[in-house]
Amino acid sequence: MIRRGRFAPTPSGLLHIGNAFTALAAWLQIRQAGGTFIVRIEDIDISRSRVAYAEQQLDDLLWLGLDWDEGPRVGGPFGPYVQSERLPLYEKALERLRAADQLYPCYCRRSELASIASAPHGLSSEGAAYPGFCRSLTDDERRAKAALKEPAWRFRMPERELRFDDGMCGPQSFDGAAMGDFVVKRADGMYGYQLAVTLDDAAIGITDVLRGADLLDSTPRQLALYEALDFGPPAFAHVPLVVDAEGKRLSKRDRSITLASLREDGVAPERLIGALAFLAGWIDRQEPVSARELIPSFSSARTAAKDVLSINDELTKFIRA
């Protein structure tokens, strides 16, 4: 079987060094395996996404030396590779889940959901676990609420333990009942991230999902969707996050660490890649190196030994030297 991996940026801002590390690791994993690498633009949140950012992100990937076999600008047999052009796929899946009673309409208002903001979190990437206010409404109650408000649609999480082996983080276990049911389509018509990414990965034939550790706890929800839709799931691996010298997560709002800024300042991509490879343990000293030269050196085991990758002042000086 030919392995298929992907990098799927959201065009809501400029790529930063942390995004570059995730893209590099995903690319190296698949290139080392002789597989097919795909780029997909995740612009499902149309209000925040910009075409200009998507184009800049693609340019930045090429600047790093990360090419792709399928995706924007090159095409491929599983297109389109832009989420906003795949909406019929999501609606068809919703119809299937509704027919199987895997979804229910949720009429909760933001003020009601705000009351659970201080409750224990089900998944950090989703916020507080939904307590199921609308899960067991009667038909009469739903009709009364529907007369006042357009519903969102929530997926019924299985009330059991969900386990998987992560390629970087090892064996994982989550309590499905404690996570809370999540939104797959908002009241304003926007499809949820968990649904879109699961359907896209399945439709495009992704075998390997390598992404940041901040999405580790999205995996059990996506696995529940794979099961409900009778799709075979990919293998998951979550790499450490890149943080600044103070241990804070990098942000697209900090222009100083964006790839566009580094390019404008004349930084050589090999210096950034060398710094990231040194942090990840793929090379044993700081030195400029190209992405392609790193293919034999990529090691998930060495990367997994890191909690976070910290860009300190010394590495910043090396990158910008």
pLDDT digits 0-9 by tens, 29-87: 999 999 999 999 999 998 999 999 999 999 999 999 999 999 999 999 999 999 999 99
Catalytic residue, candidates 248, 252, 306, 317: 252
- Homologous superfamily, domain 4-83+198-320: HUPs (3.40.50.620)
Please say if 252 is a catalytic residue.
Answer: yes
pLDDT tens column, 269-284: 999 999 999 999 999 9
- Check residue 284 and report its DSSP letter: S
Task: Give the number of other CB atoms < 10 A from CB of residue 253.
Answer: 9
pLDDT tens column, 282-296: 999 999 999 999 999
In angstroms, the first-to-last Cα distance of the chain is: 43
10 annotated to bind ligand = yes
Provide the pLDDT for residue 311: 86
d(CA 56, CA 73): 13
DSSP H helices in the chain: 17-32, 51-64, 87-99, 110-114, 139-146, 176-179, 193-204, 219-228, 259-264, 269-280, 300-304, 313-320
**CATH number, domain 87-195:** 3.90.800.10
130 annotated to bind ligand = yes
d(CA 241, CA 98): 36
Provide the pLDDT for residue 119: 41
Among the residue ranges 36-40, 148-152, 181-185, 300-304, the one predicted with the least confidence is: 300-304
> 210: burial class by Cβ within 10 Å (0-12, 13-18, 19+)?
buried
Task: Give the number of other CB atoms < 10 A from CB of residue 290.
Answer: 14
Residue 117 pLDDT grade (very low, low, confident, very high; cuts 50, 70, 90): low
User: Is residue 256 predicted with pLDDT exceeding 80?
Assistant: no
169 annotated to bind ligand = no
User: Is residue 205 predicted with pLDDT exceeding 50?
Assistant: yes
Provide the pLDDT for residue 303: 86
- Check residue 120 and report its DSSP letter: P
User: Is residue 225 predicted with pLDDT exceeding 50?
Assistant: yes
95 annotated to bind ligand = no
Provide the pLDDT for residue 118: 45
User: Is residue 126 predicted with pLDDT exceeding 70?
Assistant: no
Which sign, positive or negative, has the C-alpha torsion 46, 17, 67, 212? negative
3 annotated to bind ligand = no
Domain ranges (residues) in the chain = 4-83+198-320, 87-195
Residue 246 pLDDT grade (very low, low, confident, very high; cuts 50, 70, 90): confident
What is this structure's pTM? 0.93
User: Is residue 248 predicted with pLDDT exceeding 90?
Assistant: no
Q: Which two tokens stand for residue 231?
A: 């799709």
Mean pLDDT of the chain: 92
d(CA 315, CA 319): 6
User: Is residue 124 predicted with pLDDT exceeding 70?
Assistant: no
On whether the CB atoms of residues 276 and 298 are closer than 8 A, the answer is no
134 annotated to bind ligand = yes
Among the residue ranges 14-23, 40-49, 58-67, 121-130, the one predicted with the least confidence is: 121-130
User: Is residue 253 predicted with pLDDT exceeding 80?
Assistant: no
Provide the pLDDT for residue 277: 95
Give CA angle at 116 (113, 117), nearest 5°: 95
Residue 267 pLDDT grade (very low, low, confident, very high; cuts 50, 70, 90): very high
Which of 13-27, 124-138, 236-250 shows the highest mean pLDDT?
A: 13-27
Which sign, positive or negative, has the C-alpha torsion 301, 121, 156, 150? negative
Provide the pLDDT for residue 272: 96
21 annotated to bind ligand = no
d(CA 150, CA 46): 20
Which sign, positive or negative, has the C-alpha torsion 19, 25, 29, 30? positive
Residue 149 pLDDT grade (very low, low, confident, very high; cuts 50, 70, 90): very high
Among the residue ranges 96-105, 244-253, 291-300, the one predicted with the least confidence is: 244-253
